Amino acid sequence: MQTVLVAGATGYMGRYLVRELHRRGYRVKGLVRSRERAEQRGEFGAPSLLGLVDEWVVADVGNGSEMDGLCDGVDRVVSALGVTRQRADPWDIDFRANLRLLALAERSAVSSFLCYHEIMELAFAAVGKHARTVRVPVRVVRPTLWVADRLGPRMSSLTRFFLEGLQCDSVGEQTGTHHLTEYFNDLAVIDQER
């Protein structure tokens, strides 16, 4: 039986991923910030994880030291990590935490790593649709950033994070040699230049 680590298991998408993986007979290792919250019903009718997770890991993904050894004994990793309404900085979760998780997965030689972008592509493909690509024109970006900078550091950071994503067609080519690791490394360079 294969073990799948689901990071961000308490989120809306994470809960449904855990339920489906459990239904298909995988051994599920759930990475959550609160097991108590995970075992309660989620928002918008998302399922409780009670009885669906075989191994719990309670950790703060923003703290890299708590993630050491996380992928040991894991065959596959699915990351549903992402900032929605919590007060975390998206650069810390959507980018840095996923980058750390990817590095741990590579170190443990897991056979696959899926994150939000790939999950969404699979979901669209399952219903025979294609995701729309949106590009934000530069003339919209500059005034948006100007306003966000004046609203405070959190709003500025969130705006920059989401605009970065909206200005890219995708996180990587579906064919060829471009890998998710390269995308995250490119973002790290951009982040350090700021």
Place of tokens 């669209």: 124
Q: Please, is 48 exposed, middle or buried when counting C-beta atoms within 10 Å of its C-beta (0-12, 13-18, 19+)?
A: middle
- Which CATH number is correct for 3-126, 3.30.540.10, 3.90.1150.10, 3.40.50.620, 3.40.50.720? 3.40.50.720
Per the model's pLDDT, the better-predicted residue between 174 and 115 turns out to be 115
Residue 73: which pLDDT band, with cuts at 50, 70 and 90? very high
Q: Three-state SS for 46?
A: coil
Residue extents of the structural domains in the chain? 3-126, 138-193
What does pTM read for this prediction?
Answer: 0.66
Q: Which pLDDT tens digit goes with each residue over 90-136? A: 777 777 888 888 889 999 999 988 876 666 666 666 667 666 555 55
Neighbour-count burial for 19-37, b at 16+ CB within 10 Å, e otherwise: bebbeeebbbbbbbbebee
Rounded distance between C-alpha atoms, residue 103 and residue 180, angstroms: 11
Rounded distance between C-alpha atoms, residue 118 and residue 173, angstroms: 11
- Sign, CA torsion 112/185/96/174: negative
Which parts of the chain fold into alpha helices (H)? Answer: 12-23, 35-38, 90, 98-107, 116-126, 138-151, 153-166, 180-193
Q: Which pLDDT tens digit goes with each residue over 8-41? A: 999 888 999 999 999 999 999 999 989 999 999 9
